Structures are given as structure tokens and as C-alpha cells.
């Protein structure tokens, strides 16, 4: 896409943008860079051609060194020689620089601030929504792949909820449920678990959106961003605040909706 835009911008832009390499050659370049970094950590990658033809996930060997990893170990050993990248070179509790910004939502020292949405201002039967990172994909990458068979529930993105909350709504493990709030609604597959506290549900981030206009725009694949707020973490960080959301959950009683998130675009 950007190569095509570069060519439209000026003649020869495609070649300059791609540096004369094909997509496969760029993949090999990135692979070689990863190989060099891996070698520095004692991990040997197979040749690119072997990796590409095998079309299999490469499993990294376990590393005893990584298992003993200690954050800021060099700094702890010799703070003067290995300072941190902070104003003082040390761990900062109060930042004068951040204080100078005067941001009400980002004080210069660690403290608890009331979230925009949380159980403290929840409506009856609303649950806190967590959008954790998934174990079987990177954000939305690989959501379409066969790895999905290892975690999908009733063909949907799973939602984990406590047995007490499930019982209150007549939800059983494996049911298709509707999760909704004022921003939107999604279908998900119920995973009833004691591994999550009552009043909280978890839908992993990264599911491909699959909206159904005929049913109020409900997402058939369980994309949690339909439920979350477009709200930055602070004026300073402007990070994702994907765990600041409330929603209701109920057993889905509507018509059967076919998943179309992974269908290729219609050809013209």
C-alpha cells in the first residue's frame, strides 16, 4: 500500500520505498535480523528457506539464563556505572519534569486515580471488563488461523466469568452470551471459571470485528473494542485504557448469526 502511494507521489517512489526488494525479500531481511539477535542470546534459527518451506511455528528452546532474568540487574549491581534513563539515573518516585506539565490526570508521583468506569460507579448487574493479551495470537494477528480452534468457544471469542455471575444470569460453560453497554454489543463464548473474581469478565483483545447490521450492529466475533471507551490513559501517556469499561452479560437468545469475520472480500 505505502509502496503504491509512494509511486503516486513521485515517479520511482515505489523502488525507493521498497529499496528494490520484493515482499519475500523483506521478510527474509527481517528474519535475518531476528536471527542475529537470537544468536546473541544463544538461539539458532534455521535458514530462512528451511523455515519458509516448513510453514510451521518455530518453538524457541527454553533458556536458563532467561529464567533467571532480573530487571535492572546491572543497575542494582553498579548504579553509578549503569544508570537508568531517568532525570537522576535512579528510580524516580517524584518527577519534577512531570510536575511541571500540570496534568490533573497524571500526577508526578504514583497514586491511585478513580477510573472513568469501575465497580464504584457501576449500574446494577454491570461487570468490569478486562481486555487482556491473548496467549494464542499477537493482538489481532493469527485470529483467522487454525490456532483459533484451541481457544474459540461456540465459534466465538471466549469471555471468562465467575461461576457466581454465570449462575445469576443462567449461563453455562460453552453458552453463547451477549455482552453489551451503551457503546456496543458483542457475542462471545462463555468460559465459567473460579480463576476470575466475581464482578469481573475478561475478553482477550484482538478479535477481528464482524458486525451484523440487521441485528443492531452486534459483533458476532467478540471484538472487545466494541465495548471499550476511546479514552487515553492520561494526557502524558496517551496509552490504551482498555480495562476501563463496564458491561452487562446475558445468555444470548437471538437468531443464529453466521460468523463472517474471516471470509475474503467479495471480488468485483
Average pLDDT score over residue span 205-211: 97
Q: Model pTM?
A: 0.77
Q: State which CATH number among 3.40.640.10, 3.40.50.2020, 3.30.1360.30, 2.40.40.20 fits the domain covering 119-251.
A: 2.40.40.20
Quick one: pLDDT at residue 7? Answer: 93
Domain ranges of the chain: 2-59, 70-113, 119-251
For the segment 227-260, what is each residue's pLDDT rounded down to a tens digit? 999 989 999 999 988 899 999 999 999 999 999 9
| Pairwise CA distance, residues 179 & 224, whole Å | 9
For the segment 105-158, what is each residue's pLDDT rounded down to a tens digit? 999 999 999 999 999 999 999 999 999 999 999 999 999 999 999 999 999 999
Average pLDDT score over residue span 194-199: 98
Amino acid at each position: 500500500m505505502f509502496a503504491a502511494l509512494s509511486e503516486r507521489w513521485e515517479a520511482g517512489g515505489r523502488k525507493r520505498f521498497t529499496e528494490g526488494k520484493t515482499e519475500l525479500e523483506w521478510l527474509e531481511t527481517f528474519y535475518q535480523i531476528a536471527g542475529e539477535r537470537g544468536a546473541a542470546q544463544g538461539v539458532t534459527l534455521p535458514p530462512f528457506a528451511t523455515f519458509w518451506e516448513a510453514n510451521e511455528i518455530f518453538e524457541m528452546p527454553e533458556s536458563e539464563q532467561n529464567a533467571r532474568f532480573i530487571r535492572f540487574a546491572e543497575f542494582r549491581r553498579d548504579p553509578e556505572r549503569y544508570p537508568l534513563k531517568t532525570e537522576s539515573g535512579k528510580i524516580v518516585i517524584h518527577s519534577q519534569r512531570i510536575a511541571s506539565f500540570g496534568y490533573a490526570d497524571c500526577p508526578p508521583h504514583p497514586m491511585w486515580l478513580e477510573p472513568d468506569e469501575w465497580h464504584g460507579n457501576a449500574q446494577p448487574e454491570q461487570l468490569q471488563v478486562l481486555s487482556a493479551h491473548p496467549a494464542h495470537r499477537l493482538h489481532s494477528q493469527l485470529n483467522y488461523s487454525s490456532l483459533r480452534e484451541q481457544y474459540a468457544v461456540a465459534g466465538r471469542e471466549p469471555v471468562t466469568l465467575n461461576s457466581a455471575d454465570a449462575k445469576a444470569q443462567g449461563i453455562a460453560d460453552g453458552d453463547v452470551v451477549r455482552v453489551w453497554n451503551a457503546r456496543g454489543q458483542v457475542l462471545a463464548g462463555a468460559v465459567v471459571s473460579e480463576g476470575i473474581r466475581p464482578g469481573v469478565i475478561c475478553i482477550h483483545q484482538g478479535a477481528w470485528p464482524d458486525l451484523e447490521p440487521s441485528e443492531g450492529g452486534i459483533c458476532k466475533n467478540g471484538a472487545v473494542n466494541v465495548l471499550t471507551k476511546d479514552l487515553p490513559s492520561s494526557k502524558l501517556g496517551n496509552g490504551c485504557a482498555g480495562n476501563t469499561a463496564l458491561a452487562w452479560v446475558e445468555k444470548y437468545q437471538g437468531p443464529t448469526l453466521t460468523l463472517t469475520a474471516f471470509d475474503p472480500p467479495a471480488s468485483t
